[in-house]
Amino acid sequence: MKIVFLIAAAAVLALFLITRNRFKEYIEPLDKSRYPLKGLMPMGFYIIKLTGYKFNTGYDRKLLSMIAEIYGPIYSQFYLQVHMANKITFLLAGLVFVSAVGAAAGPDAGFVIFAAAVLAGIAYLPDRELGERVRKRRLMIQLDFPDFLNKLILLINAGMTIQRAWEKIVADNKRSRPLYDELQQVLSEIRSGIPINQAYEDFSKRCRTPEITKFISVIIQNLKKGSSEVVSILRVQANECWELRKNAAKKQGEEASAKMMLPLMIMLLAILIIVAVPAILAMQGVV
């Protein structure tokens, strides 16, 4: 049975040697810190190309939707392939690992369960990490949006148009945050000739938060029909957004407190063991 594990490991090695100099145009732009197995990812791209995978399942569309939020619709197809190639690469690395364990320890029921758990975990974790990135991004947008909206209202009251106020807020910003990156993207699209309504709608689709969807609806309606009450409407929404921000910050604090409980419980258990074990040994006459 060990020969099967050795053949599996050898097959992965052969695949690496065949593909190591391919797909450089896909690999080179990738961030090494986000893709630690970047050097092995040609194997993943090769398998995708070899199988002719079309990325047209419901699962793929769900991934594409999340990736489009992070990288935008223009690059979403590329990063969907990157995500899948990265997952395949980790699975191949996991296959080599479980093959080495199987060759050393021998196959049995425990090994089968162990191998299945390792490979299932490897397949699941990249999707979970992607979902967590989307969740954090939405939260950061939700936390930053009320401040942006208040600034916009103040500048409009001072006599600026919505677009000019938008430009000033982006120009004055010194932080790299998802919301402000998206605001800058809107301005870049408008300057490149994309219709302003389309740029605003694309911004709303990328952010995927109810507050921004509602905000963009108000802005587009104002562009189409004009309204002297746009500031009043935005002011009401700003108050609502501040309440949502408070709730989001409160929830974030509760989650942080819950996460701190586990290490505290582990420390408490360790202290109890340190205190209790000598006492138990003394009672039994061991010490």
* pTM of the full structure: 0.75
**pLDDT score recorded for residue 245:** 77
- Considering the segment(s) 140-248 as one domain, its CATH architecture is Up-down Bundle (1.20)
**pLDDT score recorded for residue 242:** 83
- Tokens for 199, please give them: 């740029």
Residue 64 sits at φ, ψ, to 5 deg, of -60, -40
**pLDDT score recorded for residue 131:** 93
**pLDDT score recorded for residue 128:** 93
Q: What is the mean pLDDT of each run of 10 residues along the chain (287 residues)?
A: 77 89 89 90 94 92 92 88 95 88 75 86 92 91 91 91 92 90 92 91 88 91 78 88 76 63 73 71 62
Q: Where in the chain is the domain with CATH 1.20.81?
A: 140-248
**pLDDT score recorded for residue 110:** 77
Long-range contacts of 138-143 (CB under 8 A, 24+ apart): 138/69, 138/207, 138/208, 138/209, 139/248, 139/252, 140/177, 140/178, 140/179, 141/178, 141/179, 141/182, 141/207, 141/209, 141/212, 142/209, 142/211, 142/244, 142/245, 142/248, 143/245, 143/248, 143/249
**pLDDT score recorded for residue 90:** 94
**pLDDT score recorded for residue 59:** 94
